[in-house]
């Protein structure tokens, strides 16, 4: 299984890009893969081919609105492990002895 963190940005569309993020999140929702949206990107968990195809489709969706799109991506491939979207955070929280702060 793979965790893919991605942040896709259309260039030349102003400071707020939430409209384009929402279009990508719709695609992610439709994929059925587990994901977590955060303020700087989205983390998706799935098989390598699934997450790479999803990233491609998100880039193509944003490219419908902009001639130039940037994508920052990070992959964590770990054979034989699932549910890492939550378990990695839970492991850190266990060592902290309390939940990680999510919002002030």
pLDDT at 21: 94
C-alpha distance from residue 57 to each of 11, 47, 89 (Å): 17, 16, 28
Show the domains of the chain with their CATH numbers. Answer: 2-96 (3.30.70.930)
102 pLDDT more than 80: no
Which residues fall within 8 angstroms of residue 51, CB to CB, at 6 or more apart? 2, 4, 33, 44, 45, 75
pLDDT band at 104 (very low <50, low <70, confident <90, very high): low
Q: Is the pLDDT score of 103 beyond 70?
A: no
Q: Is the Cβ–Cβ distance between 71 and 8 less than 8 Å? A: yes
Q: What is the DSSP letter of 43?
A: E
Residues in Cβ contact with 29 at an 8 Å cutoff, skipping those fewer than 6 apart:
none
pLDDT in tens, 63-85: 999 999 999 999 999 998 888 88
Look-up: residue for tokens 């939940």?
Answer: 99
Q: What is the pTM of this model?
A: 0.87
Query: pLDDT for 27-62, tens place per residue?
Result: 999 999 999 999 999 999 999 999 999 999 999 999
């Amino acid at each position: 299984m793979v965790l893919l963190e991605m942040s896709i940005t259309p260039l030349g569309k102003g400071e707020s890009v939430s409209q384009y993020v929402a279009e990508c999140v719709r695609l992610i929702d439709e994929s059925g893969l587990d994901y977590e949206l955060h303020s700087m990107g989205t983390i998706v968990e799935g098989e390598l081919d699934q997450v790479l195809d999803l990233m491609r489709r998100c880039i193509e969706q944003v490219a419908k609105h902009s001639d130039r799109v940037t994508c920052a991506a990070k992959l964590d491939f770990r054979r034989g492990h699932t549910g890492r979207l939550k378990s990695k955070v839970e492991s850190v929280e266990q060592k902290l002895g309390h939940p990680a702060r999510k919002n002030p």
